[in-house]
A and B are shown apart, each in its own frame.
Chain A
Amino acid sequence: MSVRHAILALLSEGPKYGLQLQKEFEASTGEVWPLNIGQVYTTLQRLERDGLVESDETENESPQKGFHITDAGSTELSSWLNTPSDTAAPPRDELVIKVLSALRVPGVSVHDVIQVHRRYLVELMQQWTRLKEDEADFDLTFALVVDAELFRLDSVVRWLDTADGRLKRAASEPPASSTTPRLARRLVVRR
């Protein structure tokens, strides 16, 4: 996740101090992502070095030193917002590798391995859903973050369900049909 661009987004509203940026960053993520003040200043220094933000020139290294976004910073922010995240290449997901590996380990039921992970994910989802139960204590940004996490976990559970079903079907079906025509041709030739 890009702290750099999140800070540019906050500065697009107007000039801000470092401490103010830290507090607003945490509030804008439903207070789910912590950000220490050191990380804020390191990021601001790099943004300033790259010409994307400028600091007040009057007060050197004061905690009340203000920052504002430059035109180059606004262009960079707009470009980032409108560029799809790089999800073209499948990640080397550890869970996928575990399920694939379980297929090769003698004496291990891949269905049992899948169930262990399914249960863990659903338990995590139960915990996230508990956070949604009390709507009165549920602000919009926090709701969006919780929904994102629930959908992420749900997609993994769905993959496990699909894998479970595909493996079960494969175990009950005859060998892959792609070999059948070749086998049939050989039989014909032998005759």
Chain B
Amino acid sequence: MSFLELRSVSKSYGEGAAEVHAIRHVDLAVECGTLVAVMGRSGSGKSTLLTIAGSLEEPTSGEVAIGGASLRAMSRNDKARLRRRTIGYVFQEFNLLAGLTALENVALPLELDGLAGKKAQAAGMAALEELGLAHRATHYPDEMSGGERQRVAIARAVVGERRLLLADEPSGALDSTNGEAVMRMILTACKRGVAAVVVTHDAQLASWADRVVFLRDGRVVDQTVPPPSPEVLLETSSWSGPRR
């Protein structure tokens, strides 16, 4: 069953001659444990798609369902609770709070959701440990490298029982090695059953996904078919299809 489902979702801004269609009739289904990448150029509508999927913005038409529940039927409070408990966001610019330590940043969404401080901190520490950042728990964002800050942002996004991870260009300005580390972490979360959507223009990042959806001018124009076993690449004997 799909954990996230977008059914014929459209979003437009402005009216009349000034109307701009950001996305049009987008269908997207993401199952638990699956990583889907949405690839498109700047202005293709991929960030709009992500904010609508994360209930941060209302679609003009169409329907979004998370965990089988339609967002249309939810009150503002219900949506806020859904965002705190179920959805984790990772942004290009990390968006960590500068005055809080790594651990406090990660534990914050749990505390906001009413979890007692000690329990929230324990869960935050567990998330940091999983990403190899326990030793940086008491450091502030400006004391960490870009790669470390993004790992803290991912820990914050997956802490607790979050089931849906939404990431907008999560490797940002990181180099390819750190970008790869970020994708490995997202994939690890998927292996625990998290459904994840990454929007990116970067084919190397997108290639970590189970499925890549291509967006052009706000429309889904294509998607990759699930790749066959990679061993296929290694069975042939030419350079265009090397073997291992």
A residues adjacent to B (C-beta < 8 A): 1, 30-34, 111, 115, 118-119, 121-133, 142, 145, 150-151, 153-154, 157-158, 161, 164-165
Contacts and interface: CB of A to CB of B under 8 A. Distances in A.
Contacts of B242: 32-34, 145
Given A115-B222, A122-B206, A161-B201, A127 B214 contact: no
8 contacts: A1-B239, A31-B243, A115-B221, A126-B209, A127-B227, A131-B234, A145-B242, A158-B203
B233 interface: yes
Contacts of A130: 227, 229-230
B203 A157 contact: yes
Q: When A and B form their complex, which 4 residue pairs have the shortest distance between CB atoms, in order from nearest? A: A125-B207, A130-B230, A157-B203, A32-B242
Interface string B170-201: 00000000001000000100000000000001
Interface in B222-244: 222-225, 227-230, 232-234, 237, 239, 242-244
A125 B39 CA distance: 14
B167 interface: no
Contacts, number: 81
B227 A126 contact: yes
B208 interface: yes
Contacts of A111: 216
Given A30-B244, A34-B243, A127-B230, A115 B207 contact: no
B200 to A, nearest CB: 11
A131 B224 CA distance: 18
A119 B222 contact: yes
Residue with the greatest number of chain B CB neighbours at <10 A, chosen from A33, A125, A126: A126
Contacts of B207: 122, 125-126, 128-129, 150
A119 B228 CA distance: 14
A149 to B, nearest CB: 8
Given A131-B233, A157-B203, 9 more contacts: A122-B39, A124-B233, A125-B204, A126-B212, A127-B232, A128-B230, A128-B233, A145-B242, A154-B203
A115 B239 contact: no
Given A123-B225, A164-B41, A133 B244 contact: no
Contacts of A154: 203-204
Contacts of A131: 230, 233-234, 244
Contacts of A153: 203
Contacts of B230: 127-128, 130-131
A32 B224 contact: no
Contacts of B227: 123, 126-127, 130
A145 B221 CA distance: 32
A79 B7 CA distance: 61
A115 B224 CA distance: 11
B216 A33 contact: no
A108 B90 CA distance: 39
Contacts of A118: 214, 222
Nearest to A119: B222
A123 B209 CA distance: 10
B204 A127 contact: no
A131 B243 CA distance: 12
A34 B244 CA distance: 8
B215 to A, nearest CB: 11
A98 B212 CA distance: 24
Contacts of B237: 34
A17 to B, nearest CB: 23
A168 B2 CA distance: 35
Interface in B93-118: none
Contacts of A145: 242
